[in-house]
């Protein structure tokens, strides 16, 4: 209250001052409630801050989705896109408020507009905002398979965050650099970056439950790549035990899908099937899942399981679903994951040349070969043994040289169904 009246502008300012905290620590329910209360206070003079509060409110509602119908969730996303357009028309606020604008643009996939904003901030005088802009720009570069651009922005972002003393920014950027080091076949360097990231994160407080889960999954994946199976399984059991208490139903489905993939790698096919069946039932029963990433992972892991069980026709069906969902995500690295499994399908149909081309196309989409990924490593070794070094390299190079559109078309599993390539 101010002078006995409700102060709409003051309420908006107070809520926005908490918005970055809510964002970093995954307090989506708190944010949705309090921003809803703030926006219920009438204001005769709408201002950029109020539009930003509305956009932030909707983004947190979308992140919670509890009790919402599919139509309500779709309406919120449409409203968020409209508000993102209005925010671009306002003078850009600096500091944390400006960062919130960037996050709203990114959340509705306004890529061109978001990159324009990031470009203006990247070389600005605000060191922290420059670091954030470069970090977010690096994420777009990764999604586009442009790892050269990603490397430059990751290094610059890490430098800016260190100058600013921001441990959250350093922790987040180090995780991205660890991913690049995996592609460079430097698992020791990747582990060192992740350990530094975890140490920094522990200093500034508990992450959001979703971020903590993703941190655990990155650790498990790296341990499996290093051959530390016992440690990976212990971490996996711990993550599964904690997850139901702290994350959403969607995150539990994602965890089941990812664990099923790990179980396929380890040869525990019965457990993998059980996890996939549970995850698919949950996905069918939850109408408000945005779901494209989850559906991609579920379909891809189901295909991997089918290939291990000697069922290429089942793998082809699962990959068809995964490919369609991957296209909807507009996330190129996850399409590369589907491409690598499709290479396994081509191999199962007795087409080692096409399998090598697909591995090259996967590398083109990803932006790099992934030599520490067990599936890629094994398919590559078998392809070289079957075709010979020169023929394999030539076929792989054919896929690697494709442009993005051609590579996307090349990895469509419909090209490798049994009707065209009968099993031999």
- pLDDT higher at 333 or 50: 333
- pLDDT higher at 392 or 108: 392
Lowest mean pLDDT among 113-127, 172-186, 221-235, 345-359: 113-127
- pLDDT higher at 150 or 284: 150
For 93, left (φ over 0), alpha (ψ -120 to 50), or beta? beta
**What pLDDT, on the 0 to 100 scale, is given for residue 148?**
93
Q: What angle do CA 172, 176, 179 make, to 5 degrees?
A: 145
**Cα torsion at 174, 298, 263, 355 (round to 10°)?**
-90
Q: Which long-range contacts (CB under 8 A, 24 or more apart) does 239-248 make?
A: 239/213, 243/213, 246/209, 246/212, 246/213, 247/209, 247/210, 247/213, 248/64, 248/65, 248/66, 248/210
Beta carbons within 10 angstroms of residue 18's beta carbon: 14
Crossing angle (nearest 10°) for helices 187-204 and 167-183: 160
pLDDT digits (tens, 9 = 90+) for 284-337: 755 444 568 889 999 999 999 999 999 999 999 999 999 999 999 888 999 999
Two tokens at 26?
């995954």
Question: CA-to-CA distance for 146 and 113, rounded, in angstroms?
Answer: 18
Total residues belonging to the chain = 424
**What pLDDT, on the 0 to 100 scale, is given for residue 107?**
57
Distances (CA, A) of 249 to 70, 211, 263, 404: 15, 15, 21, 34
Residue 129 confidence class, pLDDT cut points 50, 70, 90: confident
pLDDT digits (tens, 9 = 90+) for 79-123: 767 776 676 666 665 556 666 666 666 655 556 667 777 888 888
| Cross-strand bridge partners of residue 2 | 5
Q: Phi and psi (nearest 5°) for 293?
A: -65, -45
């Amino acid at each position: 209250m101010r002078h006995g009246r409700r102060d709409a502008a003051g309420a908006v300012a107070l809520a926005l001052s908490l918005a970055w905290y809510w964002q970093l620590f995954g307090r989506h329910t708190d944010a949705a409630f309090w921003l809803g209360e703030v926006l219920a206070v009438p204001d005769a003079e709408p201002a950029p801050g109020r539009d930003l509060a509305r956009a932030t409110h909707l983004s947190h509602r979308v992140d919670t989705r509890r009790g919402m119908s599919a139509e309500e969730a779709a309406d919120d996303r449409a409203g968020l896109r409209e508000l993102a357009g209005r925010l671009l028309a306002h003078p850009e606020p600096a500091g944390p408020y400006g960062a919130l604008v960037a996050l709203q643009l990114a959340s509705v996939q306004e890529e061109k507009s978001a990159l324009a904003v990031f470009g203006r901030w990247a070389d600005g005088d605000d060191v922290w905002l420059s670091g954030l802009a470069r970090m977010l720009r690096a994420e777009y570069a990764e999604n586009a398979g442009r790892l050269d651009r990603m490397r430059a922005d990751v290094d610059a972002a890490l430098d800016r965050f260190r100058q600013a003393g921001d441990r959250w920014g350093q922790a987040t950027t180090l995780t991205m650099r660890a991913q690049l080091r995996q592609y460079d076949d430097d698992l020791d360097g990747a582990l060192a970056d992740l350990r530094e990231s975890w140490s920094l994160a522990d200093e500034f407080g508990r992450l959001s439950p979703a971020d903590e889960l993703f941190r655990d999954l990155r650790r498990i994946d790296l341990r499996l790549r290093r051959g530390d199976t016992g440690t990976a399984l212990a971490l996996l059991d711990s993550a599964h035990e904690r997850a139901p208490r702290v994350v959403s139903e969607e995150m539990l489905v994602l965890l089941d899908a990812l664990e099923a993939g790990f179980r396929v790698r380890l040869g525990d096919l019965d457990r993998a099937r059980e996890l996939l069946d549970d995850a698919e039932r949950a996905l069918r029963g939850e109408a408000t899942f945005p779901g494209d990433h989850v559906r991609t992972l579920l379909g891809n892991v189901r295909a991997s399981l089918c290939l291990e069980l000697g069922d290429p026709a089942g793998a082809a069906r699962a990959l068809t679903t995964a490919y369609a969902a991957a296209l909807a995500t507009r996330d190129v690295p996850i399409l590369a994951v589907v491409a690598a499994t499709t290479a396994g399908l081509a191999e199962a149909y007795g087409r080692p040349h096409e399998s090598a081309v697909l591995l090259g196309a996967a590398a083109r989409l990803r932006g790099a070969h992934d030599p520490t990924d067990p599936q890629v490593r094994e398919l590559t070794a078998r392809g070289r043994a079957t075709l010979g070094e020169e023929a394999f390299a030539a076929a792989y190079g054919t896929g690697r040289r494709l442009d993005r559109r051609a590579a996307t078309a090349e990895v469509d599993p419909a090209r490798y169904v049994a009707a065209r390539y009968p099993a031999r």
